[in-house]
Amino acid sequence: MIQKIKGTMDILPDETPLFRYIEGIMREEAEKCGFGEIRLPTFEQTELFVRGVGNTTDVVQKEMYTFKDGDGSISLRPEGTAGTVRALIENGKYGDAMPQKYYYIMSCFRHEKPQAGRTREFFQFGVEMFGAETPAADATVISLAYSVLKRLGLEGHVKLHINSIGCPACRPSYKSALVDYFTDKKASLCETCLERLQKNPLRLLDCKVPSCAAIAKEAPRTVDSLCSDCQTHFDALCKSLEAMNIPYEIDSSIVRGLDYYTGTVFEFVADGIGAQSTVCGGGRYDGLVESLGGPKLSGIGFGMGLTRVIMTMQQHGISPVSPAKPRLYIASLGANAQTFALSIVSRLRQEGIYAECDLVGRSLKAQMKYADKIGAAYTLIIGDTEIETGKANLRDMASSEQKEVLLSSFSLS
């Protein structure tokens, strides 16, 4: 038997209503804030992610699905920001009125060890805003994520953690202090952190290995090394969040895993779903557009994992939707009755009513059992007698009450 590839998911019909419900809320909240939907290619030139995401990141070094394409190389998208920036530049949208606001709901791909909340193909809601450098822009993006989670019933079950990792002016001195601190403790670091010490020191703060995490707790804090501009920006963001009644916690361990982040970074962290507790993460990336060949243009955004959101909802017993159930099931006796049932079902569906009839030749008893199993609200039994008289009995499956109806004018609306 051929099975699905490890790290992928089958999302079955009884699960898709919840996905569609969540996606609908995401679209509504994004569009209320003026974000328009963008749809991007599933694969891009590998160089886009090497330059955009960062050559020193785990994503580029270890996790991308990359293939030869003629003389070049293409990769399945591991995230949405780099592709959105490429589209902004290629389509000349940087010349339009600012800010430019985009959102997407897409599948992304990373070759990593699958575990609860982490798959190789995953589904992400993301937003990107360009051309707005103010703390108010940061607060707007964060509030959009907060509004989505609140509407999904997760207020109180997720916590907003924020930090600032500084700008090109103040980050070098902080990195230097960080390297000095961790170099003195090299003997206690894991192999991955020893590599990060040379290539990407900020990621040392994000290690989940208990011994490294304990060391990182005492490391110098980014918020203690900010220049005056970064400090002013961060203080204004905190005031904006307070004015919007969005609770937050300053967390100096939040650095995010991609090289393009600068200044504000944030995560919404869920309780009770295991190691993969970040359901949403993002931040500011003011140098990314320029580094990919565009003009100097600020950017900020986030990515929210649908699967992790669903895990959090399930953990707290939040079930806002269930699979659709037919309003009517028509049980038929004989070929003529089946054809007649099809005609009624077709008419009801054109009126916007979900109706079903027998398609597999079940006995009447089996049809009634099936109607009950699929949760039909009403059943109608049609045979030769009902066709001749033009009348049939409509049964309410919840109360077992029956009433006679005229088939010629039958309607459930």
Residues of the chain with pLDDT under 70: 56, 257-258, 272-276, 413
* Spatial contact of 182 and 204, defined as CB atoms under 8 Å apart: yes
Taken in order of first residue, the domains within the chain and their CATH numbers are: 16-170+226-315 (3.30.930.10), 328-409 (3.40.50.800)
Run of H or E residues at 127: strand 121-130
What CA–CA distance (Å, rounded) separates 295 from 54?
Answer: 19
pTM recorded for the entire structure: 0.89
For 401, the 3-state DSSP assignment is coil
Instruction: Look at residue 42 in the predicted model and tell me its pLDDT.
Output: 97
Q: List the structure tokens of 273.
A: 């779903």
Strand partners, 74: 45, 67
Orientation of helix 135-151 relative to helix 228-243, angle to 10°: 40
CA angle 87, 161, 245 (to 5 degrees): 95
Give pLDDT, residue 275: 58
3-state secondary structure 311-335: HHHHHCCCCCCCCCCCCEEEEECCH
Whole-Å CA distances, 133 to 5, 127, 139: 42, 16, 11
Q: How far apart are CA 317 and CA 195, in angstroms?
A: 41
Question: Do residues 292 and 82 lie in contact, with contact meaning Cβ atoms separated by under 8 Å?
Answer: yes
pLDDT of residue 214: 87
SS3 category, 40? coil
Question: In this structure, is the dihedral angle defined by the CA atoms of residues 255, 261, 266 and 267, taken in order, positive or negative?
Answer: negative
- Rounded-to-10 torsion of CA 8, 10, 14, 16: 60
The stretches of 131-267 forming alpha helices (DSSP H) are 135-151, 171-183, 191-199, 210-217, 228-243
The answer to whether the beta carbons of residues 31 and 104 sit under 8 Å apart is no
User: Under 8 Å CB-to-CB from 105, ≥6 apart: which residues?
Assistant: 23, 26, 27, 37, 123, 124, 125, 126, 306
Instruction: Give the residue among 251, 99, 280 at the shortest CA–CA distance from 165.
Output: 251
Beta bridge partners of 299: 130
